[in-house]
């Protein structure tokens, strides 16, 4: 997996080749939002504002006919347990394995990871839908939640409303520690890591650690992950990006031979 310093700068052509045109009003894509636990209602509102048809996913039948899936923020362990006890985990895994677009925010990002550090006793169930390593509660407990500017990498700025910075709401947030091949860092945040007791992390010599640049968002061809909660900020650009990814995936599936354009 690559560190931030090793990441290549993509050209605008590389990025646009993945997504094609942006979302249009009256989009025919149907996006489900997993509604077992967590902040799903706000996602539905923003997706509909972007022209997508959005609906809650609570049962296996709700996966029928959806073109993309949002796994919202909440509590990753609780979400995985509820999914397992209700028989939903296998259906979520099947959808992820189908390679249709999936967006994980906060807890959803943890669930999509291939590896997670800082898990509770007994481990953390993972869908392994994107080659990333994450750390649960990297920034501390609930009382250390914060808002900070998320810095968008240059090659992604035009697709995210032209902004170099966007608001980020971090609620007992995870961090993205590393990314694998085929995964691009979209945005970073400057913040301090805290240990489980809320104290600022200490360096090797016992001094308080300085703020560090931490990956806050990344994407693969059909995956988007954000450590923060875009649905709680006054901007729908992240939802517009995901709708674009879903529409590109649909266009690819409909192309001769099923060649994807995403």
The question of whether 50 is a catalytic residue gets the answer no
User: Distance between terminal CA atoms of the chain?
Assistant: 22
Out of 42, 155, 231, 240, the active site residue is 231
The question of whether 231 is a catalytic residue gets the answer yes
70: CB partners within 8 A, 6+ apart? 31, 32, 33, 34, 40, 43, 47, 102, 103, 104, 105, 108, 242
Out of 29, 43, 50, 106, the active site residue is 106
Out of 43, 50, 155, 229, the active site residue is 229
123, with CB counted inside 10 A (0-12, 13-18, 19+), is: exposed
- CA dist 116 and 148 (Å) reads 23
Task: Please give the positions annotated as active site.
Answer: 106, 229, 231
């Amino acid at each position: 997996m690559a560190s931030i310093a090793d990441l290549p700068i993509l050209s605008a052509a590389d990025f646009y080749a993945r997504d094609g045109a942006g979302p249009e009003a009256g989009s025919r894509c149907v996006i489900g939002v997993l509604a077992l636990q967590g902040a799903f209602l706000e996602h539905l509102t923003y997706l509909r504002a972007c022209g997508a048809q959005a609906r809650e996913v609570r049962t296996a039948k709700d996966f029928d006919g959806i073109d993309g899936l949002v796994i919202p923020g909440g509590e990753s362990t609780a979400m995985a347990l509820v999914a397992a006890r209700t028989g939903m985990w296998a259906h979520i895994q099947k959808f992820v394995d189908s390679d249709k677009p999936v967006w994980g925010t906060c807890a959803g990002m943890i669930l999509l990871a291939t590896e997670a550090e800082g898990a509770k006793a007994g481990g953390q169930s993972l869908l392994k839908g994107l080659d990333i390593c994450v750390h649960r509660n990297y920034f501390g407990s609930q009382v250390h939640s914060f808002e900070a500017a998320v810095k968008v990498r240059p090659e992604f700025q035009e697709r995210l409303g032209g902004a170099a910075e966007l608001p980020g709401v971090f609620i007992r947030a995870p961090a993205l520690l590393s990314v694998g091949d085929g995964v691009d860092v979209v945005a970073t945040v400057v913040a301090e890591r805290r240990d489980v007791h809320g104290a600022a992390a200490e360096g090797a010599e016992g001094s308080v650690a300085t703020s560090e640049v931490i990956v806050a968002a990344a994407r693969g061809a059909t995956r988007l992950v954000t450590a923060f909660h875009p649905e709680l900020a006054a901007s729908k650009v992240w939802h517009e990006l995901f709708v674009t990814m879903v529409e590109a995936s649909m266009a690819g599936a409909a192309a001769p031979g099923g060649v994807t354009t995403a």
